[in-house]
Amino acid sequence: GVNGGIIEAHEHGIVTSAALLVSFPALDDAISLARAFPRLSVGLHVNLTIGRPITPWQQVPSLTNISGNFLGLAGFLQRLARGRISTAELSIEIDAQFRRYAETGLPLDFVNGQHHIHLFQPVLNLLAERLKRNRPHMLRLTHEPLRALLPSLHGGLITFPHPKRYLFAFLARRASHALNGLASNDGFIHVDGAAFRRPTSAGASNPFITALRDATGTTNELMCHPGHVDLPLRYLDAYV
């Protein structure tokens, strides 16, 4: 579902890059599609929150539940806050995902994380260390412009962006100071349903269009999640 949606969007000139979840069953299909469409930039989507680790779960027990599955974002952050996530185990699993990506033979254009997990320490430092050894790869950050996070008016109702977007914008700004020269994108724009709404009152503006107009720098990422909804996607993603 997701692989097909990405390629369809790429063929229509909408999507120019995509990140690979190397721990997912559809990896072989994704590799074949990436090779068939070489103009699509590809990178590694580090995953520590959904599905199962590449490493045998017994070797990374702080990252998994008793069934051997990742904990989800909330579960991961709860353990992290309690000091129960092992940095050594994070390093083991991250290395395993980098190795599996290298085995694909695809170029590594950038790195980011499922649920933006790469913004949290110590994951950020572990990734930065690896990328500094293999420049010029880019670590994608979610520093949305502040105007994109302002409330907007639709149908007489004031709507606010999801609270997580404020958190991730803050973490991205903090992360940019820790990269020590490592390449990253200049800007980030979140594409969601609000991006396609028309203003319903005089003087109202679409925050997505405003963010596009305000974009500066040379590399701005517009993040979206194209895909065709199928049963595996419904099972894996609670947002579907």
Residue 208 pLDDT greater than 70, yes or no: no
* CA separation for the pair 34, 41 (Å, rounded): 8
What's the count of helices (H) and strands (E) in the chain, helices before strands? 8, 8
Confidence (pLDDT) at 40: 94
pLDDT tens digits for range 35-75: 999 999 999 999 999 999 999 999 999 999 999 999 999 99
Please give the span between the terminal C-alpha atoms of the chain, in angstroms, as a whole number.
12
Q: What is the DSSP letter of 70?
A: B
Average pLDDT, the chain: 84
Per the listing, tokens 């990252």 go with 63
CB atoms within 10 A of CB 25: 10
Confidence of residue 113 (pLDDT cuts 50, 70, 90): very high
Query: For 78-112, how does the pLDDT look when each residue is reduced to its tens digit (9 = 90+)?
Result: 999 999 999 999 999 999 999 999 999 999 999 99
State the angle between helix axes of 123-132 and 87-104 in degrees (0 to 180), rounded to the nearest 10. Answer: 40
What's the confidence (pLDDT) of residue 119?
A: 92
pLDDT at 180: 75
Q: What is the pTM of this model?
A: 0.84
Mean pLDDT throughout 232-237? 65
Q: Looking at the chain, list the stretches that DSSP marks H as alpha helix, in order from N- to C-terminal side.
A: 2-11, 27-36, 72-81, 87-104, 123-132, 163-176, 207-214, 231-236
Q: What is the mean pLDDT of residues 1-7?
A: 88
Determine the pLDDT at residue 132: 81
